[in-house]
Structure 1
Amino acid sequence: MRSAKIIVAILVVVGWLVVSGVPVTAANGIDITNNKQLDFVREITAAEEKIMQEKEGQIIVQLNKPMSDTRVATILNFDSKKIRELAPDVYSIAVDEGDEEMLFRELQQNEAVLLAERNLPRKLLYESFPNDPYYREQWGLESIGISKLWEQLPSELGQVTVAVIDSGVDTNPFHEDLENRIDPNGYNFLLGSTNIYDLNGHGTAVAGIIAAVTNNNKGIAGVAGLADVRILPLQVVFSDGNVYSDDLIAAINYAVERNVDIINLSLGGSQYSEIENNVIQKAIQKGITVVASAGNEGNMSYMYPASYDGVISVGSIAADNKRSYFSNYNDKIDVVAPGERFITTAKSNLNKYDYFSGTSAAAPMVTGVLALLKAIDPSLTPEDLMGLLAATSLDLGFPGKDAEHGFGKINPLEALKLVMSEEQEEGNWTVLPSPPGRVPVNKAWLIQFNRSFAEDEIDGIVIEKDNNFIPVSIQLFPQEGRAIVTPVNTYTSQEEYQLKIFLNNLNRYRMSFFTE
């Protein structure tokens, strides 16, 4: 056990160095003027990484009875240097890479071995939060459960570019929490230049909600802050907050030419523009998802671009899940997200943070979630992403889609589960019999389960066509053991669709049907 004692002693020394301290320290308490201390920490970190790598291939065995170390090495047929005693009859064995499977089977068959297991990973069971100082003030992130999604993100994520068409972004230098997040191809459509200064602050706030770097010991955590998300700042807003449709149209077209993944529009007006709509439809047809704020008038009026077809219109809710007093509500609302008193990056050359409210804050919450989903699966189309939101959002208010909340409050973790379920290998499906004949284009489906259920037992119910999600309204009746799935829009005539049901016990069901 000598090595364990050495590690404990080293940890004690590190603790002493931190608490005895000197005036100049980094955020983690390490003296940044002391090269010896920095070298020491680097040494320890490297050593720990090596140890963790070694543990991944180890096997743990429990013997039928205690015995001497020499005897153990002989019976197990291993070099004694590769065997470590954990308890009188329990040992860990270091195994050469590539030999794990063969030696694991041999140990299982060894008569002296009672049990053989992998060296399983464990984790601390406290509520872990990013180390960003203002994270605990970002109530909206916990309200949508984003930290639970972060915990389940796959290790490999693609790069995603989000065009923030707004008032620019804090520059000279860029805000500390947006470091390496700003796409160099940003453009100022007001001056016709690449100077994307932000005298208003609105664009900087929106960019921070989407992409502020997470776990960097600075400021806040962006919704997509753990992914490689790039903000393309396209400046169309004057410093006093005014915007004109010509700049907006030019910026949307520029975003299409740059082949961005998502456009965030935390702005709008009450007048419909067919030209503006045409440009936005072109973006959607090119596979770009467009997210926009529903408006802050607190009434049922339409706001554009949010109310154009195909645009994800986002309303705002407060901490109690009720519609924010200022949030517009109408039949164009798709989803809602937290949008009140949300702390985010602020314009200043001093790296400031400030509170931000409005549907302007709710929209980038949704954009950030969709950016994470695109980082996981770049093939997701605007229709897919809308379908995912519709299938997984937490229903608020009246059952199904309603004017106050659309499909409900965004539920990132459930959306992630659905994406990951879709990415699993084909198979493990229970195929349900198709209905006889063809079904009406507005057909709703009653799904009857064999017992009552809790809502969290269902990971998702979707309808697909050609692997694209179709927006649906889902009503769950847990006590009655049934669900009703209704298409938001009518199906296309003479086409094949699939109804898919994902349960959290990994059971999956699907049924094909044809429309009239």
Structure 2
Amino acid sequence: MRKFFLTCLFVIGLGFALFSYPGLSNKGEFDSIVLDFREEKAEQISPKLQEIAQEFGVKPRLNSEFSQADNVYIVEGDRALLQNLRQSGLQKYTEYIEPNYIYTLNAVPNDPDYPKQWNLRSINVEAAWDETHGQGVTVAVIDTGVSRVPDLKDTKFVKGYDFVNDRIAADDDAGHGTHVAGTIAQSTNNGYGVAGIAYEAQIMPLKVLGASGGGTVADIAEAIKFAADNGADVINMSLGGSGESQLMQEAIEYAYQKGVVVIAAAGNSNQNSASYPARYPRVIGVSALDSAGDRAPYSNFGAGVDISAPGGYMNEENPAGGILQNTIDPETGQPIFAAYQGTSMAAPHVAGVAALLKASNIESPDEIANILKEASRKVAEDPLNHFGAGHLDAAASVKLALRGQITFKDFFRWLRDNGYLNPRFWIDGGAIALLPKIGMVIGSYLLAWLLRNYFPFGWSWSLTSGLVAGSSGLFFLQGFYLFDVPQWPFRMMGSSIPELGNTVIGTTALNPIFASVLIPAVLVVLFLGHPSWKWFAIGSALGVASCLFISAAIDPAMMWLGGGWLARGFLVINALLCFGLARLAVSGEQKLA
């Protein structure tokens, strides 16, 4: 008994907490409802619209002059009305009853210079942000180091290493690595500067290039293994050279076997082949696009190019065509906002999107590479492989990654959109009023306790099951709504015995045949001789008695009998008969152990 009350309090408290959380309660807004009537029910639409208007006090209207052919009507209302319409029997006449959601533009970061970042909009990152920001993913930036410039203040960092100077602090003295890190995870929505792609990801700074921009294969290979051994999910290498190295290839294979996605720049020599390490088989090689979506004239192409991404190209005609991020001035070491261009700028776009995919529960490097390629915007004619699989598309990649997944966000969105996170939905009668149902269950237990003072019996699972089935059923299932699925099984499982008669047709009025002593009497007759099932029958009789008593007090609406004193009298008499039946059945029974 105490556990039951604690569970009820937990559900109510959780509902209040979630409803008050703005991240859940302020999304999926609507103030009207769509009714799409079936074409084959056209003749019945007019009378049904009149019934809706009379019963719910609303005025159904066609959505527009073009809606007549599809029989699409709109009614003003909230989630409570939505649930009432879904349970009113209209399902037989409509294709669907759903919220008329209010859609808006995708969320735009409040960073003041974000409008200058044409590159992020060109990969459709805003739509990808609707699903993930890269939380929990670590991206290793193997570069000139990373300095904590102001617009990386809110970005999370994990321990890195400076392989050039053999020390832990991997600070930047060239500005290149900091710029790359900004594209991946610049602090975003902080009201300052610019934005990054996977701005909730963590950066692992690994310095392998000095102030001059040069570095050795040995340092790079060690950095790759360090990243793989210290929790990196994605490695970005905006660097390259012409010499093939077995040491580096071995390191890349090592990282791949540990599930790390490795990405590298194709190179800036306008040559018909990517540089190393982009050309290695386990590496995603990235060529550069300008702001018009064409291959940047400096970008390498051909063998080793797997995908293309914005790398920027600035000239007199397009001075704003670079990739803008917060970095340092290599001469002074002071923070600046600077636009760079190169395949070095293209690679971190892919690394950022790879982080979004990792955060979407895609683990395999091969699967991430396949998603990036399959979701890319294809280029019809590309005989020299300027673009690889196509142009990087963040939104399409994340959507493809989430296909078939039921995410945590999806589940809460479903709960929110159907009203379950709003306590008023339950208390005021959404799926079915919570407080009356709790009262029915408590009432059935009180009746059983009252019987216990007259006749010896013990509590058991069969008795408890009967009490619940007779009084309330699995009432929380009554409000479940799954698109394009018959709802009567949920109403059936969620109904108590007195409500079974109206589950299929969807009415709220009790059927006198079911809301009476009849079914408990049949159960008692059938199971009285069984050692366990007899207690289910007795519990059902007490549960039905409780349900009928409370229904008579708060909502006596019944088929054929109306909702007045005749219906109340019928319910009270049958409740007393159920109680008497239970007393009669218990009489003479021995107390259970």
**3-state SS of paired residue (2:328):** coil
Measure, in 2, the Cα distance between the counterparts of 1:422 and 1:105: 26
CA distance in 1, matches of 2:30, 2:289: 48
1:389 to 353, 368, 372: 372
Q: Do structure 1's residue 141 and structure 2's residue 124 form an aligned pair?
A: no
Q: Distance in 2 between matches of 1:253 and 1:139?
A: 34
Which residue number corresponds to residue 326 of structure 1?
298
Q: Comparing both structures, which one devotes a greater share of its residues to strand?
A: 1
Alpha carbon RMSD of aligned pairs, Å?
Answer: 3.8
Contact 1:59 1:118 in 2 (8 A): no
| Contact 2:139-2:233 at 8 Å conserved across structures | yes
Residue 324 of structure 2 corresponds to 343
1:184-207 deviation per Cα after TM superposition (whole angstroms, max 9, x unaligned): 312111222222221111110000
**1:403 match:** 385
* Structure 2 residue corresponding to 1:417, chosen from 390, 393, 399: 399
Q: Give the corresponding residue for 1:487.
A: none
The answer as to 2:226 corresponding to 1:254 is: yes
- Distance of 1:100 and 1:339 partners within structure 2: 49
From 168, 174, 177, give the equivalent of 1:203. Answer: 177
Query: Which residue, out of 337, 340, 359, partners 1:356?
Result: 340
> What is the deviation of 1:362?
0.4
| Deviation of the 1:318 alpha carbon | 1.3
Residue matched to 2:430: none
The yes-or-no answer on 1:168 pairing with 2:140 is: no
In the TM superposition, what is the alpha-carbon distance from 1:218 to its structure 2 partner? 1.6
Q: Which amino acid aligns with 2:145?
A: G
Q: Distance in 2 between matches of 1:50 and 1:207?
A: 28
2:274–2:305 CA contact under 8 A, matched in 1: no
* Equivalent position SS for 1:352: strand
After TM superposition, the structure 1 = structure 2 runs for residues 438-457 of structure 1, keeping only pairs within 5 Å, are none
Is this contact kept in 2: 1:57–1:100, CA < 8 A?
A: no
Counterpart Cα distance in 2 of 1:160 and 1:54: 26
The answer to which of 136-145 and 367-376 deviates more is 136-145
C-alpha contact (below 8 Å) 2:218/2:247 kept by paired residues: no
**CA deviations over 1:375-417 (Å, ceiling 9, x no partner):** 11242x1111221222222233635x74322222112222223
Query: Residue deviations 1:221-263, cap 9 Å, x none?
Result: 11222xx300100111111211112211111111011131110
Map 1:202-351 → 2, pairs under 5 A: 202-225=176-199, 228-340=200-312, 341-347=322-328, 351=335
Structure whose residues are more often helix by fraction: 2
Matches of 2:127 and 2:115 in 1, distance apart?
15
Structure 2: which amino acid aligns with 1:282?
Answer: Y
Counterpart AA for 1:165: I
2:198 is aligned with what amino acid? A
Q: 1:49 to 1:128 in 2, by over 3 A?
A: closer
Q: Which whole-Å CA distance do the structure 2 matches of 1:373 and 1:286 have between them?
A: 17
SS at match of 1:346: strand
**SS class of match (1:313):** strand
Of the structure 1 ranges 208-217 and 54-63, higher mean CA displacement relative to structure 2 is found in 54-63
Question: How far is 1:310 from its partner?
Answer: 1.4
Shift of 1:324: 1.3
Q: Distance in 1 between matches of 2:59 and 2:77?
A: 7
SS at 1:355's partner residue? Answer: strand
Which one of the candidate residues 354, 358, 361 is aligned to 1:377? Answer: 361
Task: Give SS of 2:235's match.
Answer: strand
Distance in 2 separating the partners of 1:336 and 1:66: 55
TM-superposed CA distance for 1:373, in Å, is: 1.1
* Corresponding residue number in structure 1 for 2:163: 189
Structure 1's 55 and 169: CA in aligned 2 closer, same or farther, altered over 3 A? closer
> 5+ residue gaps in structure 2?
1-18, 36-48, 62-73, 313-321, 408-593
SS at match of 1:252: helix
Looking at structure 1, the residues matched to 136 and 361 of structure 2 have their Cα atoms a distance apart, in angstroms, of 10
Counterpart residue number, 1:367: 351
Q: Note if contact 2:240-2:265 (Cα within 8 Å) is conserved in structure 1.
A: yes
SS at match of 2:173: coil
Q: Deviations over 1:101-138 (max 9, x none)?
A: 5x45455579xxx9x966543133x5763221111211
Query: AA paired with 2:399?
Result: K
CA pair 120-297 structure 1, distance change in 2 beyond 3 A: same
Matches within 5 A, 1:37-186: 49=22, 52=25, 64=50, 92=77, 95=80, 101=83, 103-107=84-88, 120-124=100-104, 129-151=108-130, 153=131, 158-170=135-147, 174-186=148-160
Structure 1: which 5+ runs fail to align?
A: 1-45, 77-82, 426-516
CA distance in 2, matches of 1:323, 1:55: 40
CA distance in 2, matches of 1:90, 1:405: 50
Q: Which residue identity does 1:284 align to in structure 2?
A: Y
The 5 A counterparts of 1:447-486 are none
Aligned-partner Cα distance in 1 for 2:270–2:160: 33
Cα deviation for residue 265 of structure 1 reads: 0.3
- Alignment CA distance shift 1:375-1:295 (3 Å): same
TM superposition shift of 1:176? 2.7
- Residue correspondence of structure 1 range 26-41 to structure 2 within 5 A: none
Q: Is the 8 A contact 2:362 2:401 kept in 1?
A: no
Q: Which residue of 2 aligns with 1:503?
A: none
TM-score by length of 1: 0.60
Change (3 A) 1:302 1:104: closer
Q: Could you tell me how far apart the structure 2 residues matched to 1:164 and 1:57 are?
A: 43
Q: Aligned pair in 2 of structure 1 residues 350, 61: CA closer, same or farther (>3 Å)?
A: same
Aligned-pair identity (%):
32
CA drift of 1:57 comes to: 10
* Paired residues, number: 351
Structure showing greater Rg: 2
Which range moved further: 270-279 or 390-399? 390-399
